[in-house]
């Protein structure tokens, strides 16, 4: 039988466990998640295990990153299955606050406000509450766990850049590492929210990745960015999605780019299928 990871429900319990690791000279990696774990999350755990002696996975559905009309109440919660999967991956600790009040006690009043080019547009244009909520909870997680390394998925590419910048700006001594997006066999990026898709929507969903790959190949082959993206947007809309954005950005700074001469390019997309919002991104070249 595989050993279950130790589940910590309160901050003092987390700190005691981590203090013991550090006293033994062990490095700590943190993998922040909202649970409903899939292969994408588990790939982060595997990477974390390669980078440090101990792996802490946090599971916390963070109300601060959901707008009132979003899916906080219905967000999938599969704690027992998550624990079983983390046991198979040999995660050491699971930081699962016993209540929202553990993270946001009565009177909680501070919010981290990320800025700079990485926060301009894309997700921020459609979910203006989002990065403040993410940066606040991730700053708290970093301060709570004081990890040597933290692993985030490239699936949420803008989030990875915002969190990296936040840690640097606040002098939090953690190395933020990005991990490649894990996909279903048909190319759809794995996401906890994919369970919302109806069978018909699920059949359509991989179109998003196909269009990204097609646009990336065209741009890498010398076609103009603007016209290529216009065509991509059109294909996505005609396939039945409601598009939020399809954009080309500098892969490091996320500043807008007009051509591959402006630096390494990343294509980022967000679009709705019915009530489900999908995001994805790919590199060019």
Q: To which H or E segment does residue 273 belong? A: strand 265-273
Residue 133's nearest CA partner among 59, 67, 45, 41 is 67
State the minimum distance, in angstroms, from the CB of residue 224 to ligand AMP. Answer: 30
Q: Are strands 93-95 and 54-59 parallel, antiparallel or unpaired?
A: parallel
CA distances from 284 to 159, 177, 218 (A): 19, 20, 9
Cα gap 28→259, rounded to integer Å: 40
The CA-atom distances, in angstroms, between 282 and each of 15, 119, 164, 213 are 38, 18, 19, 7
Q: Of 156 and 244, which CB lies nearer to ligand AMP in the complex structure?
A: 156
Binding site for ligand AMP (CB under 6 A): 33-34, 40-41, 43-44, 152-153, 155-156, 179, 181-182, 189-192
The answer to whether 140 touches 150, Cβ cutoff 8 Å, is no
The residues pairing with 270 across neighbouring beta strands, listed in sequence order, are 245, 279
Which among 38, 41, 129, 209 is annotated as catalytic? Answer: 41
Residue 225 or 268 having the CB closest to ligand AMP = 268
Quick check: is 41 catalytic?
yes
Residue 92 or 280: which CB sits closer to ligand AMP? 280
For 185, which DSSP code?
Answer: T
Q: Which is nearer to ligand AMP, 225 or 271 (CB)?
A: 271
Q: Rank residues 58 and 228 by Cβ distance to ligand AMP and give the closer one.
A: 58
Q: How far is the CB of 16 from ligand AMP (least distance, A)?
A: 25
Length of the chain: 285
**Closest Cα partner for 55 from 160, 150, 175, 157?**
150
Q: Are 218 and 242 in contact (CB under 8 A)?
A: no
Report the catalytic residues.
Answer: 41
């Amino acid at each position: 039988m595989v050993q279950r990871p130790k589940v910590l429900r309160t901050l003092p319990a987390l700190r005691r466990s981590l203090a013991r690791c550090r006293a033994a000279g062990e490095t700590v990696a943190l993998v922040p998640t909202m649970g409903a774990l899939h292969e994408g999350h588990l790939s982060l755990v595997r990477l974390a295990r390669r980078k440090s002696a101990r792996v802490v996975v946090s599971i916390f559905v963070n109300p601060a990153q959901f707008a009132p009309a979003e899916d906080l109440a219905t967000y999938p919660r599969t704690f027992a299955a998550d624990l079983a999967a983390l046991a198979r991956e040999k995660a050491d600790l699971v930081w699962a606050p016993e209540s929202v009040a553990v993270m946001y006690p009565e009177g909680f009043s501070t919010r981290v406000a990320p800025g700079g080019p990485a926060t301009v547009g894309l997700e921020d244009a459609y979910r203006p509450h989002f990065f403040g909520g993410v940066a606040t909870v991730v700053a708290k997680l970093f301060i709570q766990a004081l990890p040597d390394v933290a692993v985030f998925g490239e699936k949420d590419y803008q989030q990875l850049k915002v969190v990296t910048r936040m840690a640097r700006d606040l002098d939090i001594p953690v190395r933020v590492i990005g991990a490649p997006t894990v996909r279903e066999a048909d190319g759809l990026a794995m996401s906890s929210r994919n369970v919302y898709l109806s069978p018909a929507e699920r059949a359509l969903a991989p179109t998003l990745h196909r269009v990204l790959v097609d646009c990336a190949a065209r741009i890498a082959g010398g076609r103009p960015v603007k016209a290529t993206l216009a065509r991509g947007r059109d294909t996505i809309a005609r396939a039945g999605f409601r598009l939020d954005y399809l954009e080309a950005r500098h892969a490091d700074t996320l500043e807008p780019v007009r051509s591959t001469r402006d630096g390494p390019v990343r294509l980022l997309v967000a679009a709705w299928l019915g009530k489900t919002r999908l995001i994805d991104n790919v590199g060019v070249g």
